[in-house]
Amino acid sequence: MALVVAAWAMPSGAAWADEATVAAGAAIAAHGTVVGRAACSSCHGQDGAGQPDVGIPRLAGLSTYYIHEQLGYFASGARRNYVMSSYAAALTPAERREVADYYASLPVPRNPDPLPVAAAALDHGRTLFLNGAPDKGLLSCSQCHGTDGLGVGSFSPRLAGQSAAYIVDQLQRWHGGADRDPKGQYMRAIAGRLDTPDMRAVADYAASLPRDGGKP
């Protein structure tokens, strides 16, 4: 697995960005595009915090490469979402890069106050995240996303402080064999070994992790 991660990993953050592309991305996020596409901020927020309670993911803190890659998959149909597929397809390749550079340049917002989660469920999520479940042939989440949930470059996104509802939704899609990017083969294999309580527990634990990688 380490060799696979190394092969995909790229620098995180807005390493490829310059001030002009970040400014152009900020304008698209705030006002939309000249051809009438809505502002990204209407769902994800100008600060990239998303809307955790309704499963709209946080973008701030994800890498430029990861955001740009996912927009490309939405645009091509490799990844499907009834909102994002049409939106990404209407953006030019340059606009997708500008939006990615902008959101990757933002500091990660403060973790929102989490919804109450039973201690036993959070402990179960911690066990799955850090140790996996050998009896199910399940690798730990931390092997790819890191023990702190901060991800590994372009290979695996930051999960720390991400919306629990969004994580559950993505796990359910992978469990159901939904079409996804080429790296989704790893997540389909993992999610296929999780039941619904497992998914909710690991999502709640990931959401509880601090944005700076400290202990929850």
pLDDT in tens, 80-110: 888 999 999 999 999 999 999 999 999 988 7
Same domain? For 100 and 140 the reply is no
Which residue in 99, 102, 104 sits closest to 13, CA to CA?
Answer: 104
**Backbone angles phi and psi of 51, in degrees to 5:** -130, 85
> Is there a domain that residue 91 lies in?
yes
Q: Please report the pLDDT score of residue 115 as a whole number.
A: 67
d(CA 66, CA 153): 8
Q: Given 80, 105, 130, which residue is the final one in a domain? A: 105
Q: Please report the pLDDT score of residue 135 as a whole number.
A: 92
Q: Please report the pLDDT score of residue 12 as a whole number.
A: 47
Q: Given 56, 80, 105, which residue is the final one in a domain? A: 105
Domain that holds residue 53: 12-105
> Is there a domain that residue 111 lies in?
no
Residue 141 marked as a ligand binder: yes
Q: Please report the pLDDT score of residue 18 as a whole number.
A: 83
Residue 10 marked as a ligand binder: no
> Is there a domain that residue 144 lies in?
yes
Question: 18-27 pLDDT, tens per residue?
Answer: 899 999 999 9
Residue 68 marked as a ligand binder: no
DSSP state, residue 153: T
d(CA 17, CA 170): 28
Number of domains in the chain: 2
Same domain? For 81 and 133 the reply is no
Residue 175 marked as a ligand binder: no
Q: Please report the pLDDT score of residue 213 as a whole number.
A: 58
Question: 115-126 pLDDT, tens per residue?
Answer: 678 899 999 999
Q: Please report the pLDDT score of residue 9 as a whole number.
A: 44
Q: Tell me: pLDDT of 50 over 60.
A: yes
Q: Please report the pLDDT score of residue 108 as a whole number.
A: 87
Q: What is the mean pLDDT of residues 60-64?
A: 91
- Residue 45: what residue type? G
Segment among 32-36, 85-89, 119-123, 204-208 with least mean pLDDT: 32-36
Same domain? For 26 and 62 the reply is yes
150-165 burial string, b = 16+ CB within 10 Å, else e?
A: bbbbbbbbbbbbbbbb
Tell me how far apart the 2 most distant CA atoms of the chain are, in Å.
Answer: 54
> Is there a domain that residue 170 lies in?
yes
> Is there a domain that residue 179 lies in?
yes
Q: Please, which pLDDT band fits residue 215 given cuts at 50, 70 and 90?
A: low
- CATH at residue 169: 1.10.760.10
Which residue in 41, 47, 65 sits closest to 106, CA to CA?
Answer: 47
